[in-house]
Structure 1
Amino acid sequence: MPFTGDSHVRIARPTRDLAVAERFWAEGLGLSVLYRAEAGGVPGEHDLLMVGYPDASWHLELVHEEGRPLEPTPTVEDLLVLYLDGPVPDELVARLEAHGGQRVASPNPYWNTWGVTVEDPDGYRLVLCTRGWSNRS
């Protein structure tokens, strides 16, 4: 089957600590844990956590290998943007902060005007955008 607009998308990134990442993404943002696997210390294998919504066409995969941990190296432009099409709830930002996130200013003034940027515990940035988005013209 060819790649289409209905194809599932996986965003994968390393994390320093899966439990800390789960607190932020599941308890803080409210995503569901879709899958979890533990390598059991097998060399070359990694533990992973997949979070998202069960009916969505995307998910976020977080990986960690105990024997060879990969240090996350995000930049200020590594963004996961969620278009809320409305105000960003203060209680959501507070919950993200209570679960390991840190609200930060974006170097791009667009995101400061149209949303709230929160760094996850690994330094990757989540933008909660007040605007809507559609790929259709």
Structure 2
Amino acid sequence: MPANAMSHVRIARPSRDLRAAERFWVSGLDLGVLYRHEADGIPGRHSLLMVGWPQAAWHLELVHDPAAPVDPRPTPEDLLVVYLGEPVPDALVERLERHGGKRVPAHNPYWDTWGVTLQDPDGYLLVLSSRSWSNE
């Protein structure tokens, strides 16, 4: 099957602390845990956490290698944008903050106009946008 609009997308990132990441993404944003693997101290094995919405065509994979951790190095333009199509609920922002997120100003002021930017426990940015989006 060639790559096309039906192809599933995995976004993989290193994480310093998978438990902190899970609190933010699952308890904060309400993504589901799709898969979990614990390395259990076995050399060469990575711990990972896959999160997403079950019906989505994408998921986020967070990886931690306890034997050789990779430090996350997000830039101000490394964004995961979720288009809500309505004003960003204050309760959602507050829940993300309670679960380890930090509201930050966007590097690009467009996102401050059209949403809210939060930093996850690893320093990556989540934008909750009040706009809608379609690739059509």
TM-score (norm 1): 0.98
**Aligned equivalents of 1:117, 1:131: Cα separation in 2:** 14
* 1:104 Cα deviation from its structure 2 partner: 0.3
Fraction of identical pairs, as percent: 67
- C-alpha offsets along residues 44-91 of structure 1, whole Å, 9 cap, x if unaligned? 210000000111111000000111010000011100000000010000
SS of 2:36's partner is strand
Give TM-score scaled by structure 2 length: 0.98
Q: Which runs of 4+ in 1 moved over 2 A?
A: none
Partner of 2:124: 124
**Stretches of structure 1 lacking an aligned partner (at least 5 in a row):** none
Paired with 1:54 and 1:37, the residues of 2 have a C-alpha distance of 18
Q: Would you say how many aligned residue pairs link Structure 1 and Structure 2?
A: 136
1:77-88 matches, within 5 Å, as 77-88=77-88
Deviations 1:80-123 (A, max 9, x none): 00000001000000000000000000121100100000000000
Structure 1 match to 2:39? 39
Q: Which runs of 5+ in 2 are unaligned?
A: none
Alignment of 1:37-116 (within 5 A): 37-116=37-116
